[in-house]
Chain A
Amino acid sequence: GENVEQHPSTLSVQEGDSAVIKCTYSDSASNYFPWYKQELGKRPQLIIDIRSNVGEKKDQRIAVTLNKTAKHFSLHITETQPEDSAVYFCAATMTTGTASKLTFGTGTRLQVTL
Chain B
Amino acid sequence: EPEVTQTPSHQVTQMGQEVILRCVPISNHLYFYWYRQILGQKVEFLVSFYNNEISEKSEIFDDQFSVERPDGSNFTLKIRSTKLEDSAMYFCASSIFGADGYTFGSGTRLTVV
> Which A residues contact B (CB, under 8 angstroms)?
32, 34, 36, 41-46, 49, 89, 91, 93, 95-107
What is the interface size of chain B, counting residues whose CB is below 8 A from a CB of the partner?
27
Q: Which residues of B contact A45 (CB under 8 A)?
A: 104
Closest Cβ of chain A: how far from B21's Cβ, in Å? 14
CA distance A99 to B48 in the complex (A): 6
B11 near A: Cβ within 8 Å? Answer: no
Interface centre among A43, A89, A98, by most B CB within 10 Å?
A43
Collect the chain A residues with CB atoms within 8 Å of residue B95's CB: 99-100
Chain B residues within 8 Å of A104, by CB = 42-44
In the assembled complex, the Cα of A23 lies from the Cα of B86 at a distance in Å of: 28
| Contacting pair A43 B42 (CB below 8 A) | no
Given A32-B99, A43-B91, A93-B99, A101 and B56 contact (CB-CB distance below 8 Å)? yes
Interface of B is mostly: strand
Instruction: Say yes or no for B107: interface residue by CB 8 A criterion.
Output: yes
Q: B51 CB to closest chain A CB, in angstroms?
A: 10
Evaluate contact between B42 and A98: CB separation under 8 angstroms: no
The answer to whether B55 touches A98 (Cβ under 8 A) is yes
Of the residues B42, B99, B103, contact of A100 by C-beta under 8 Å: B99
Task: Give me 17 A-to-B residue pairs in the complex whose CB atoms sit less than 8 angstroms apart, sorted by A's number.
Answer: A34-B99, A41-B109, A45-B104, A46-B102, A89-B42, A95-B98, A98-B31, A98-B50, A99-B56, A100-B95, A100-B99, A101-B58, A102-B35, A104-B42, A104-B44, A106-B41, A107-B42
When chains A and B are docked, how far (Å) is the Cα of A106 from the Cα of B41? 7
CA distance A46 to B91 in the complex (A): 14
Q: Measured between C-beta atoms, what is the minimum distance from A38 to chain B in Å? A: 8
CB B48 to nearest CB in A, in angstroms, measures: 4
Q: Is the CB of B42 within 8 A of A95?
A: no
Q: CB-nearest residue of chain B relative to A49? A: B99
Interface centre among A89, A96, A98 (most CB of B within 10 A): A98
**Shortest CB distance A10–B (Å):** 12
